[in-house]
């Protein structure tokens, strides 16, 4: 199996709703993002897919999140915009754009330094 992984990033604010209905204060994070895709064999170029193509697909997905309040985002706001849910959102938007035969393995989103959340669509 082969994998390729690219990095992206965006800055955005959010506030999690606590189970008792209260909310955290609105606060900003710099969200580093890593996307990992897989293929069982390489293509005519010897690659899973072009790194820069994958990075552009990721950028298309995260650009609309940049400098937003994620609580006001139409899809992320209603479901609590945790790092876990941001990772799943990016995965859901990215997977259908991948070339045939290339499978999304993992999306990892960093929140504070030393804190990362991943969504693994296949597991």
Positions touching a copy of itself (CB under 8 A) are 1-8, 16-19, 42, 44-48, 51, 55, 79-85, 87-88, 111-120, 123
Q: Directed axis angle between helix 83-94 and helix 51-62, to 10°?
A: 120
Q: Which is nearer to a copy of itself, 40 or 96 (CB)?
A: 40
- The whole-angstrom separation of Cα 11 and Cα 20 is 27
- CB contact at 8 A, 10 and 28: no
CB of 48 to a copy of itself, least distance (A): 6
CB of 116 to a copy of itself, least distance (A): 5
């Amino acid at each position: 199996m082969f994998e390729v992984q690219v990095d992206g990033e965006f800055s955005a604010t959010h506030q999690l709703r606590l189970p008792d209905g209260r909310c955290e204060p609105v606060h900003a994070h710099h969200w580093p993002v890593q996307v990992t895709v897989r293929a069982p064999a390489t293509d005519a170029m010897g690659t899973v897919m072009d790194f820069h193509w994958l990075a552009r697909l990721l950028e298309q997905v995260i650009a609309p999140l940049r400098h937003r309040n994620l609580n006001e985002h139409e899809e992320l706001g209603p479901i609590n915009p945790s790092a876990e849910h941001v990772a799943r959102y990016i995965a859901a938007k990215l997977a259908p754009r991948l070339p045939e035969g290339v499978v999304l393995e993992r999306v990892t989103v960093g929140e504070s330094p030393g804190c990362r959340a991943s969504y693994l669509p296949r597991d």
